[in-house]
Amino acid sequence: MGTTQLESVPEPKYWHLRTVLSEALDSEFTVGEILPNERDLAARFGVARATLRQALEQLELEGRLQRRRGVGTTVAPPRVGVSVGSEQHAWPGAPDDVWQTVDCTPAVPPASVADALDSGRDEPVHIVRRSRVTHGQPVAAELLYIPQSSVPDLSAIDAPSGAARARAVLRELQRLELERQESAVELGSARADDAKELDRLPGAPVLVVTTRYIAEGRTAALSVATYRADTCRLTFGDSGRVEIHQDPQRQAS
């Protein structure tokens, strides 16, 4: 009757389960509430634990659930919108910057980074590590690659590495006039170090934002920022507020 098509191919159990759980989350649970444990839930739905876990994984991917080993599964708050590409371009480290500088080390960049920078493959760069925190939660970790040629007047007095060095590098960067910036977003999985900083397990889904800062016709800096995909919604465009807090895919049908 209501079904537009007889399911000649029944949908997988875990997918159906995802739907059922999703609706239950909408109607019967509040943010932060703890769900029954996986073994109980599996028994309640009459499926193996692995199958239930497949459904939970989907919901976690969609930002609906949060699971922590040793604790349990809780209903996640709506994703937080984090502004990524504002139209009024600004250098990293500009006064209004939301990032926290961690440290700085000199290194020869990986080949892929060297190619994106318009410097030679062997030119050393400053690698500035930064982190971004919102609402008390770490949301992103960043590696900033800055060729030495972008900051030629660095005082040798400053330490060769560390947080003070990082701030000095960013301060020098402000002297260039930023022409424009280009960003790209893609899905990745957290490496061990990023995972630790983001308070997730290795392999957790992340949104990788690669930004080229262009000044004087060349790439003066390259940022690779790793955002938690489960908790973040990346916003582009000036205001940074696209206020759809419910899943924008969800249909009234």
Partner DNA sequence: CAGTGGTCTAGACCACGAT
Partner DNA sequence: TCGTGGTCTAGACCACTGG
Interacting residue with DNA among 48, 98, 133, 244 (CB under 7 A): 48
Residue 85 binds to a second copy (criterion: CB under 8 A): yes
Residue 32 binds to DNA (criterion: CB under 7 A): no
Identify the residue whose tokens are 């957290």: 190
Residue 51 binds to a second copy (criterion: CB under 8 A): no
- Counting residues that bind a second copy (by CB under 8 A) gives 66
Binding part of the chain for DNA, among 40-48, 85-93, 130-138, 175-183 by CB under 7 A, reads 40-48
Which residues in 166-225 contact DNA (CB under 7 A)?
201, 203
Helices then strands, counting H and E runs in the chain, come out as 6, 10
Interacting residue with DNA among 29, 54, 94, 188 (CB under 7 A): 54
Instruction: Give the closest residue to 20 by CA, choosing from 73, 48, 58, 72.
Output: 58
**Angle subtended at Cα 213 by Cα 196 and Cα 151, rounded to the nearest 5 degrees:** 90
Please state, in angstroms and rounded to a whole number, the distance separating the CA atoms of residues 147 and 102. 18
**CB-based contacts of 9, cutoff 8 Å, min separation 6:** none
Which residues in 119-178 contact a second copy (CB under 8 A)?
none
Residue 35: Cβ within 10 Å count = 19
Residues near a second copy, by CB under 8 A: 11-12, 15, 18, 58, 61-63, 79, 81, 85, 87, 108-113, 115-116, 180-189, 191-192, 194, 202-203, 205, 207-208, 210-212, 224, 226, 229-230, 232-252
